[in-house]
Structure 1
Amino acid sequence: MTRGDVETLSKHGQWVNRVEGEEELSQGYASKEEAIEEGRRLAEATGSMHTVRDAQPTGVVTDEQDPERMARERRSGSDGDADGADDVIAVEDLP
């Protein structure tokens, strides 16, 4: 991908537009359709390429900071990761 290219993809069930090299323009959307529409509009406005990476529907948007999940993990003494790494993934960290 070239700087400014827009990629629409699902990240943990939430659709996002990732802008190569311009992370401040990257955003999340409530639906796949909305993300694709906005991705196309952004790519057209900036004269860049738009790519959609399809994903299997999960039916669930996961929330890595779900308070109930975090409380359960604290009670069980586990954070869900064998290595203790943080599960939060920023849009900038997407491949």
Structure 2
Amino acid sequence: MPEYTPNAKGPAPARITPETTEPAPIPADQVKPEDIGKMAIEYRDGQPVIVVSGGKYIPETLTAVAASGSEAATYAVSTKPKTMTYLPYKY
């Protein structure tokens, strides 16, 4: 007896729905503190990445602050990866 299905027509067709794949923002006042993910910076292959653990939500924007306390940059969250670039900032 053969080890294949003689009437097989290949894999089932994929069903793609037009629903959004982007996460919907939630106002900060509707998020409980225990639901906010803890973030840490790690370096992988020489590139910084933010690792999130626990929680259900992350902020939509992140602000980088220099050691002096002045704002160095603000980053917006995106679900689409982008090329990493570095910018100088003043301390």
TM-score (norm 1): 0.24
Higher strand share: 2
Higher helix share: 1
User: Structure with the greater relative contact order (CA < 8 A, sep ≥ 6): 1 or 2?
Assistant: 1
TM-score (norm 2): 0.24
